Amino acid sequence: MGLMSPWEVLLLDEVTVDLDVLVRDDLLAFLISESQTRNATILYATHIFDGISKFPTHVAHMRDGAIVDGDPIVWTSEQSDPKLDAGSALHPLALKWLKEDREVRRKAEAEGKQKKTRGARVNDVPTDSETFYKK
């Protein structure tokens, strides 16, 4: 990437969320090539798992800023099923993790250990038009 200094570790957070599928695929191919050429590491945080099954060498489940269940999982190209839609092999794993996270969050909220952070903000949102449109 001509606009970037040489890197050994690159942190990417949701960088492909607004890209169309062709540009996204091109970017991922470029990143794979660059990381292999430079022998560098890319930490890629995302919630969109289609089209990235061939991208990772490891995957990790994070919750509340920490890795869950020990070390990241080694992800091999054999786990990418070419008969599936590109990247679909990661989807079941991510879905399992998201469901676990939801249950952990709900339990913590029910026990009063965590403030409810999901759903409508009933008490914090002004409802009168004067406040809403005031500049």
- Model confidence band, residue 126 (pLDDT cutoffs 50, 70, 90): low
Q: Which residue has the higher pLDDT, 84 or 19?
A: 19
Distance between CA atoms of residues 44 and 63, nearest Å: 15
Report the DSSP pairing between strands 66-67 and 62-63: antiparallel
Q: Which tokens sit at 5?
A: 């200094």
Helix (H) or strand (E) holding 62: strand 62-63
Band of pLDDT at residue 101, cut at 50, 70 and 90: very high
Euclidean distance between CA atoms 114 and 72, whole angstroms: 26
Region for residue 65 given its phi and psi (left: phi exceeds 0; alpha: psi -120 to 50; beta: otherwise): left
- Measured between alpha carbons, how far is residue 66 from residues 25, 62, 104 in Å? 29, 5, 14
Query: Of 25, 37, 34, which is closest to residue 3 (Cα–Cα)?
Result: 34
Q: pLDDT: is 23 or 48 the higher one?
A: 23
Q: Please give the pLDDT value at position 118.
A: 67
pTM: 0.67
